[in-house]
A and B are shown apart, each in its own frame.
Chain A
Amino acid sequence: MSEIQLEIDGKEVKATEGMTVLEAAQSAGIFIPTLCHHEKLEPFGGCRVCIVEVEVNGWTKLVVSCVYPVEENIIVRTRSEKVDRIRKTIIELLMAHAPDSPKLQDLAQEYGADKDRFEKDASFCIHCGLCVRYCTEVAKKNAIGFVGRGINKEISFIPEIAAKECDDCKECFPLCPTSYLQAAFVLTKALFSPPPSSEPASEE
């Protein structure tokens, strides 16, 4: 694998072919905020928070660093007026769902985001997909998945599988930025648990 030289925030960074800009930045100790990224999971590219400016041959474009492959001699800027403005709007859009999420509140402070900018929504899932992807790729239990599309997209447990697997696992719980996952699990359990037995307990 050949070595690739690039510049991130004015710093010379050495990366290997096949790395993403995010990986290269992290290896050089340069911070780029993320929400849907996790080192054990395939890059998702859903939240767009890790967006950065990349200059190639004099042209500047915005790319999502968790999926953009490193290229020789590109100049990356992890902060700029445009990048900050877009990150701010994304955080505000997500806080319409989960204004109390600690992770979102931290980001809101850094980027001057207003949690009340947009009309609130009933669902506090921000669709980072960490739970679904962890269950599919790492735990390999396939107990939770996506349903629907567009503004009607949601996460949903498969009740039979969740009943069997989740109580002993729950590895995805700490990954959820908003606690929606835990709420969904509790609700699924409540709706799909077997009804209480109607027969009297046997006398011993």
Chain B
Amino acid sequence: MDNDRIDQIIDKHQGEASSLIQVLLEIQTENHWLPKEALERVGEKLQVPLTRIQHIATFYKAFSLVPKGRHEVHICVGTACHVRGATRILDTVEEATGIKPGETDLDLKFSLETVNCLGCCALGPVVEVDGKVHGKMSPVKTAEVLKIYE
């Protein structure tokens, strides 16, 4: 991500240090991860030490300091989904993709994360791929959904 785009995002938030998290969220959404150079640029422009940015980037689950795959797979492991068998869905996804939560596969196709509640609790177990929510999943349905993605 080039510095001009980062500067644009920072200016949109009036260059305020309190908007640090909002700025990083925008960079994360556009770029799918936070490269070190982006963090340094943000620190420079907002006059914030890199230690604080690093703490924030590792404290909040929305941020990733490593590149993500083309498709982000989120498995909800909230209580309602857990009680309805989310663990088995996670097992299925781990087997189908070959990766564990927090990892990205070598082809940079899938990134896998567990999420602690998407708010679709009545439809548990729930899987979200690239922001699209799939409810009432079973191990078989999950495997089928994953096959759609290139």
Residues of A within 8 A of B (CB): 132, 135-136, 142-149, 156, 158, 161
User: Interface digits, B36-60 against A, CB 8 Å rule (1 contact, 0 not)?
Assistant: 0000000000000111101100110
Contact between A147 and B50 (Cβ–Cβ < 8 Å)?
no
Contact between B59 and A145 (Cβ–Cβ < 8 Å)?
no
**In the assembly, what is the distance between CA of A144 and CA of B59, in Å?**
15
Contact between B50 and A158 (Cβ–Cβ < 8 Å)?
yes
Q: Please, which residues of chain A bring their CB within 8 A of the CB of B52?
A: 142, 145
Contact between B50 and A142 (Cβ–Cβ < 8 Å)?
yes
Contact between B59 and A149 (Cβ–Cβ < 8 Å)?
yes
Contact between B54 and A158 (Cβ–Cβ < 8 Å)?
yes
Closest to A157 in B: B51
For B50, B58, B59, the residue with the greatest tally of chain A CB atoms inside 10 Å of its CB is: B58
**In the assembly, what is the distance between CA of A76 and CA of B125, in Å?**
51
Given contacts A147-B54, A158-B54, are A142 and B49 in contact (CB under 8 A)? yes
| Contact for B58 among A135, A144, A148, CB less than 8 A | A148
B contacts with A: majority SS: helix
**In the assembly, what is the distance between CA of A158 and CA of B36, in Å?**
11
**In the assembly, what is the distance between CA of A199 and CA of B148, in Å?**
52
Contact between B51 and A136 (Cβ–Cβ < 8 Å)?
yes
**In the assembly, what is the distance between CA of A136 and CA of B52, in Å?**
10
**Shortest Cβ distance from residue B114 to the other chain A in the assembled complex, whole angstroms:** 14
What total of A-B pairs shows CB separation below 8 Å?
31
**In the assembly, what is the distance between CA of A96 and CA of B94, in Å?**
33
Contact between B51 and A132 (Cβ–Cβ < 8 Å)?
yes
Nearest first, the 9 A-B pairs at minimum CB distance are A145-B51, A142-B49, A147-B58, A142-B51, A148-B58, A149-B59, A146-B55, A145-B55, A158-B50
Contact between B59 and A158 (Cβ–Cβ < 8 Å)?
no
For A145, A156, A158, the residue with the greatest tally of chain B CB atoms inside 10 Å of its CB is: A145
List 17 A-B pairs, Cβ < 8 Å.
A132-B51, A142-B49, A142-B51, A144-B51, A145-B49, A145-B51, A145-B52, A145-B54, A146-B51, A147-B54, A147-B55, A147-B58, A148-B59, A149-B59, A156-B54, A158-B54, A161-B50
**In the assembly, what is the distance between CA of A121 and CA of B150, in Å?**
42
Q: Please, which residues of chain B bring their CB within 8 A of the CB of A161?
A: 50
**In the assembly, what is the distance between CA of A142 and CA of B50, in Å?**
7
Q: Please, which residues of chain B bring their CB within 8 A of the CB of A135?
A: 51
Closest to B43 in A: A142
Q: Please, which residues of chain B bring their CB within 8 A of the CB of A143?
A: 51
**Shortest Cβ distance from residue A43 to the other chain B in the assembled complex, whole angstroms:** 19
**Shortest Cβ distance from residue A46 to the other chain B in the assembled complex, whole angstroms:** 14
**Shortest Cβ distance from residue B56 to the other chain A in the assembled complex, whole angstroms:** 10
Q: Please, which residues of chain B bring their CB within 8 A of the CB of A136?
A: 49, 51
Contact between A158 and B51 (Cβ–Cβ < 8 Å)?
yes
Closest to A144 in B: B51
**In the assembly, what is the distance between CA of A148 and CA of B60, in Å?**
8
**In the assembly, what is the distance between CA of A92 and CA of B52, in Å?**
31
**In the assembly, what is the distance between CA of A100 and CA of B52, in Å?**
31
**In the assembly, what is the distance between CA of A132 and CA of B49, in Å?**
12
**Shortest Cβ distance from residue B58 to the other chain A in the assembled complex, whole angstroms:** 4
